[in-house]
Amino acid sequence: MIIGSISENKELEKRISITPEIAKKYISSGFEVLIEKGLGEHLGIKDNDFLKENCKIEDKKTVLDKSDIILQLNLLDDEILGLLKDNKVLIGNFNSNINREKFIKINKKKISIFSLELLPRITRAQSMDILSSQANLAGYKAVVDSFAFFKKAIPMMMTAAGTISAAKVLVVGAGVAGLQAIATAKRMGAIVFATDVRLASKEQVESLGGKFLIVEGAENLETEGGYAKEASEDFKKKQEELVKETLKKIDIVICTALIPGKKAPKIINEEMIEGMKPGSIIYDLAASQGGNTAFTKVDEVVDKNGVIILGETNILNKLPTSASNLYAKNLFNFVINLYDKKNNKININMDDEIISKTLVK
């Protein structure tokens, strides 16, 4: 059985789905690995690095024709999808809520599509969880980039000339990205605050040295799958007031609040930003889904009365090697769960929650 991968549009996506290390694992598990020429060149991974692991290198069309399983990050464009033959398996992170019409066309060709952002949050799926592995890196990088824009020192410094106060950081949303942002900011000497609609986050935030901001009379807004759900209007008003007062003393804000399948909630409005100190930084990790602030613009640096607001389409393009390593491992674990080695075939077992939840119908 052949596993293949072709290059993404490198202007939009610098990560890759198969690394030499993971190719070796596929081959030792009984697969052949076929990749497009130059797949990892932009990351310093030479074709020869893949050849050393007994991979085969071909042109794009040959990879698509010969591969039984095709691993990607983003959904292939219409022209390339048109080249796919029947009975292929396509695995990646395909934004199932946005690409529904494309999936209908693909399914007519008897192509099985697995979109891993749909993975259930169960213990057995943790090693395949692309959202967590990538969000972890995004939370780290958002802090590093924010600190690079900030014009002051981050940790408290006591010198003969006087004391420099530690920077105050607020993390909005304490999921995987938010928790890594808290840990990173804390390690670099900042005083860290965090807020989240899920009360279960309080213990996690405090274990990392952050102070959890609680809305008075808060209810726990968490789905059974562990994601945040939409808040009531009363909760939103209370949260708004708490955030507004907190932001007046904050230097750096990291926004990570997302609701799966919906636009990002607007948490920081115009009035709140007007109350912030000039020189403050906001990094909005939700930018590509509408943003958590009123002024976020994707891939633009916005200066609102001295408050700098940052947000990118894909922050992981700044850490493509690390992100690729983790993503490739996630895919490998998913493929092994899908593969019937004894009979050398893909086993789409709909009784397996991991398979049934990620198969796009």
The answer to whether residue 251 is catalytic is no
Residue of 132, 133, 134, 239 marked active site: 132
3-state secondary structure 189-252: CCEEEEECCCCCHHHHHHHCCCEECCCCCCCCCECCCCCECCCCHHHHHHHHHHHHHHHCCCCE
DSSP per residue over 7-19, as a string? Answer: ---TTT----S--
d(CA 257, CA 296): 14
Rounded distance, CA 182 to CA 172, Å? 10
| R_g over Cα of the chain | 22
Active site residue 126: yes
318-321: long-range contacts at Cβ-Cβ below 8 A with a sequence spacing of 24 or more?
318/141, 318/145, 319/137, 319/141, 320/14, 320/15, 320/16, 320/42, 320/43, 321/43, 321/44
- The catalytic position among 5, 17, 115, 129 is 129
Backbone angle region of 32, left / alpha / beta, with phi > 0 → left and psi within -120 to 50 → alpha = beta
CB 222 within 8 A of CB 196: no
The catalytic residue among 29, 47, 121, 322 is: 121
Q: Which of 227, 214, 106, 247 is nearest to 176 (CA)?
A: 227
Q: How many helices (H) and strands (E) does the chain have?
A: 12, 18
DSSP 356: H
Active site residue 132: yes
Task: Considering the candidates 49, 227, 352, 356, report the single residue annotated as catalytic.
Answer: 227
How far is Cα 33 from Cα 23, in angstroms, rounded to an integer?
Answer: 7
Q: Which of 28, 126, 165, 207 is catalytic?
A: 126
227 an active-site residue? yes
* Residues designated as active site: 121, 126, 129, 132, 227
